[in-house]
Amino acid sequence: MPITEWLYKMNLCEYIPRFTRQKCFFVTDLAQFNGGTSLEGSPITFRKDEELYQKRIIDCMQLKKEAKSDFRYLTQMQAVKHVNLYVKNMKLRDEILEAIPDNEITGF
């Protein structure tokens, strides 16, 4: 899978240039960094405030269950938690949730 598609699916498009600048074009290219389990020693760097994103990328590299669970499809009731974070107006929130069919969106 191309690294661009992989990062896009994780909602991390802003990191695509960092990976492609280092000639990392496919997910399999990540294996050159500590056997594909870490970015330590790689020329791809992250700022202190980006540690969460770096951890998310490493979790996906290591195929951790937590990383996979974010990509599950959600029901309307599961989507409530995510929508509540951003929409405070109850009427608008209900309209948005009614428009979301079950198993159409993921945790991202």
User: What's the pLDDT tens digit per position in 3-16?
Assistant: 888 788 777 888 88
pLDDT digits (tens, 9 = 90+) for 29-83: 776 766 666 677 677 777 788 787 787 777 777 767 766 665 566 677 777 777 7
Contact status, residue 42 vs residue 22, Cβ threshold 8 Å: yes
Query: Taking a C-beta distance cutoff of 8 angstroms, is the pair 76, 100 a contact?
Result: yes
| Cα 56–chain centre separation | 7
Torsion angles phi and psi, residue 105, rounded to 5: -125, 160
Q: 41, 58, 42, 61: which is closest to 50 by C-alpha?
A: 58
d(CA 77, CA 22): 42
